[in-house]
Amino acid sequence: MSDLVSVKMRASLSGLHVSGAEKIVPVSSASKVASRLVERALSHERGTPDFINVKIESLPSDILRLKALPVKTHAVATPAEGRALAARLLAEAGIANADEIMARFSETHSLRGAMLLDADTLERLEPDQSRGVRATYMDDAAALARGTAGVKNHYAEAIVLATKVQNAPNIIAEICVSDDPDYVTGYVATCELGYRRIAVLKEKGDPNGGRIFLYRGPRDGVAKTIEFLEKTPVLVDDVPTLSSAANAPRRFDGLADALDERQAAGLSRQCRTLEGPTGPTAVVDGRELVVFASNDYLDLARDPRVVKAAADAAKEFGAGSGGARLTTGTQPPHVRLENALAKFKGSEAALLYGTGYMANVGAISALVGKGDAVLSDELNHASIIDGCRLSGADVLVYRHGDMEDLDRKLGACREHRRRLAVSDGVFSMDGDILDLPRFLEVTRRHDAFSMVDEAHATGVVGQTGRGLAEHFGCSLPDVLMGTLSKALGAEGGFVCGSKLLVEYLRNMSRPFIFSTAPSAAVVAAADAALSVLEAEPWRVERLRENVAFFVGELKAHGIAASTQSAIVPVLVGDERRAMAVSAALERDGILVPAIRYPTVARGSARLRVAIMSAHAREQLSRAASLVGRELSGEVKKFSRHMGVDTILTNDYQPVSAGTGLR
Ligand code: WAQ
Ligand code: MG
């Protein structure tokens, strides 16, 4: 053997291709790389293969080295724009019948390889037209030098392939559309234009793709071209990483690597655009979806009374507030809403913040600092965690919902100047609630401040949506934080508490002091929503019924789930699998996000179903049956594996059963 080998793996299930990969590596790492590829195939999201073939071949020592095509990305919004751009690029490369060539993608869907097309006569030149021509024996030279087989990366693999193809004799261009239903980016490549990524070249959800290699030359040259594509090994130098590909300067390389790593782990994220007003349905990428992801639990964001209040306030008070609250930013709507919130929650006073994040960061960092201790539930929201970190206090994390652990840890902080215990009221990724009576008992015994975040509890928990104190029939925590952006349909955060506490925060809380006041429009909208909520408690009741109905339907489809709020978590475990299930649901018209690290712990990815009062029974039962279809086998497996039966097999506990003081 020479010192380099080609390692190829392909896996199939019931005769259908599941995954494949090839690497060029030193013979010394051949077995390690082979086993890594096998592991990858065995955990593939398309299913566990029943056949895996691994081939290891020695390569000649004088491997051809090629320089990667330069990359340029074209941002287009729709597949039609993308296809028009592809045709324009081909025309630019001197290819006359670009539109007819693009139309030939209707014939590529069943091919494992590429269609080899005469660029001028449009005749197919592959000897086996059911398979096409496959480019193989190629890899990224840098991956070889790093001594790793690299991670799966559509992008780098496509550049390696395109570079080899453009160096084949008589090939003048290539067009590629991925066959991955979720990967809509494709490209056109030629020697002169380089690798032109086209951001959108097909509809999301479309499983059809393919490659067309365009040939210009004599017929007796075809064999040589295919010989080069299928047999000649090449290593490609200077393959760019994803984000540095957009011609970013070198100092951005570290950012690109971090993004690539996220992407390879199935953790990269993007913003989706939802057309139309917030509500139980939305148009996303041109398709109407039923939304099970919104915090607008009571359907108030689009309520005509709420929207009118915002519009009227904008007319009366202007679009922006013009200053911070302590300078020129306090207007009558701000004062009115603070009073209304205090009354609604039953506290002496309230203070508005621009967002819930700011309210948490602002309250915690004002209350505790160096020499103090803050005790935080391990599943608290990121804004609480960030507040703890920013405060400079000693942070002690106690086990989720474990009041004995909290008690012990408070006991260990007697020497600290101040102690603050902070907990989510509704845990936003698990849907369970804090045992407020016990939390208050423990914190008072230690003379510690108690703080509860009612972002997801306001409008949801308690008979009339007033929160945990109403649900348990107990008193309020010292610091009651909430948001206007969820059940209240607007945006912003607030803190309720005693007059003393609120006066203190107004003077000491930096996010309050150093931010422009929220606009009168958004404040008036929240105020109107609060009035609707108080006048129409049936909304809270309907939400509760919908949650109970949905959990019951899930159960009927083999999925045990529980919640004490409007958030129903369905555990999946693996990040990529959760993404795949979410994508499958979306193909069936249901928007349910997969929640992954860093929002939840690694390996505990889940679907997070958010229920609204406005969901129809039919929408709820269809969603439950689709989740059941995707997951009924796996969830059971996962719960056994992780020992999380408590989350998965508890029966639903009604939100407002009125358990009373304990
Ligand atoms: N040789 C020839 N054709 C191939 C090969 C090969 N080695 N591998 C795949 N094909 C054909 C086959 O018909 C597939 O259906 C089609 O190409 C698409 O393959 O962000 O993922 O592996 O810049 O789905 C391009 C954009 C992604 C990357 C390409 O292709 C970016 C991709 P896929
Ligand atoms: Mg593919």
DSSP 544-555: HHHHHHHHHHHH
Same domain, 196 and 333: no
Chain centroid to Cα 376, Å, comes to 25
Q: Is the CB of 111 under 6 A from ligand 1?
A: yes
> Is residue 654 a part of any domain in this protein?
no
> Is residue 639 a part of any domain in this protein?
no
Same domain, 250 and 360: no
**Is 413 exposed, middle or buried (CB count within 10 Å of its CB: 0-12, 13-18, 19+)?**
buried
Name the band, by pLDDT with cuts 50, 70 and 90, for residue 655.
Answer: very low
Q: From residue 516, how far is each of 312, 320, 322, 335, 504 by CA, in Å?
A: 21, 9, 7, 15, 19
Which ligand approaches the C-alpha of residue 137 most closely?
1
Is 194:97 a contact under the CB 8 Å cutoff?
A: no
Same domain, 217 and 290: no
**Is 391 exposed, middle or buried (CB count within 10 Å of its CB: 0-12, 13-18, 19+)?**
buried
The string of DSSP codes covering 463-495 is TTS--HHHHHT----SEEEEESSSTTSS--EEE
User: Residue of the nearest CA to atom 14 in ligand 1?
Assistant: 210
Query: Where residue 338 sits, what CATH number does that domain have?
Result: 3.40.640.10
> Is residue 549 a part of any domain in this protein?
yes
3-state secondary structure of 537: coil
Same domain, 459 and 426: yes
Same domain, 102 and 33: no
Same domain, 490 and 560: no
Instruction: Confirm whether pTM is higher than 0.85.
Output: no
Q: Is the CB of 21 under 6 A from ligand 1?
A: no
> Is residue 358 a part of any domain in this protein?
yes
What is the tally of structural domains in the chain?
Answer: 4
Please identify, among 24, 40, 58, the residue that sits at the C-terminal boundary of a domain: 58
Predicted confidence at residue 247, as pLDDT, reads 53
Same domain, 44 and 120: no
> Is residue 643 a part of any domain in this protein?
no
The answer, yes or no, to whether residue 567 has pLDDT greater than 80, is yes
99 alpha carbon – ligand 1 mean position (Å): 21
Greatest Cα-to-Cα distance within the chain, rounded to the nearest angstrom: 91
Tell me which residues are annotated as active site.
Answer: 428, 456, 486
Is 153:263 a contact under the CB 8 Å cutoff?
A: yes
Which range is least confidently modeled, 125-129, 609-613, 629-633?
629-633
From CA 611, how far away is CA 546, in angstroms rounded?
7
Choosing from 125, 154, 157 the residue with most ligand 1 atoms within 8 A of its CB, the one to mutate for a pocket test is 154
- Cis peptide preceding 249, ω within 30 of 0: no
Helices 499-508 and 356-367, interaxial angle, to 10°? 100
User: Residue of the nearest CA to atom 26 in ligand 1?
Assistant: 186
The answer, yes or no, to whether residue 654 has pLDDT greater than 80, is no
Mean per-residue pLDDT for 567-589?
A: 92
Same domain, 252 and 165: yes
Same domain, 349 and 454: yes
Please identify, among 535, 568, 584, the residue that sits at the C-terminal boundary of a domain: 535
Same domain, 51 and 91: no
> Is residue 627 a part of any domain in this protein?
yes
Q: Is the CB of 365 under 6 A from ligand 1?
A: no
179 alpha carbon – ligand 1 mean position (Å): 7
From CA 351, how far away is CA 366, in angstroms rounded?
13
> Is residue 504 a part of any domain in this protein?
yes
The answer, yes or no, to whether residue 52 has pLDDT greater than 90, is yes
| Average of per-residue pLDDT values in the chain | 90
Choosing from 176, 232, 263 the residue with most ligand 1 atoms within 8 A of its CB, the one to mutate for a pocket test is 176
Structural domain harbouring 481: 304-535
Predicted confidence at residue 661, as pLDDT, reads 25
Which range is least confidently modeled, 273-277, 366-370, 564-568?
273-277
Is 52:38 a contact under the CB 8 Å cutoff?
A: yes
104 alpha carbon – ligand 2 mean position (Å): 18
The string of DSSP codes covering 197-213 is EES-SS-TT----EEEE
Q: Is the CB of 197 under 6 A from ligand 1?
A: yes
Same domain, 496 and 430: yes
DSSP state of 244: G
From CA 658, how far away is CA 272, in angstroms rounded?
39
The answer, yes or no, to whether residue 639 has pLDDT greater than 70, is no
Same domain, 585 and 614: yes
Query: Where residue 291 sits, what CATH number does that domain have?
Result: 3.90.1150.10
Q: Is the CB of 17 under 6 A from ligand 1?
A: no
Mention every residue, 6+ apart, whose C-beta is less than 8 A from residue 196.
71, 72, 73, 74, 89, 187, 188, 189
Choosing from 8, 23, 108, 112 the residue with most ligand 1 atoms within 8 A of its CB, the one to mutate for a pocket test is 112
User: Residue of the nearest CA to atom 25 in ligand 1?
Assistant: 186
Q: Is the CB of 211 under 6 A from ligand 1?
A: yes
The string of pLDDT tens digits covering residues 94-146 is 999 999 999 999 999 989 999 999 999 999 999 999 999 999 999 998 877 66
> Is residue 270 a part of any domain in this protein?
no
The answer, yes or no, to whether residue 249 has pLDDT greater than 80, is no
Is 137:236 a contact under the CB 8 Å cutoff?
A: no
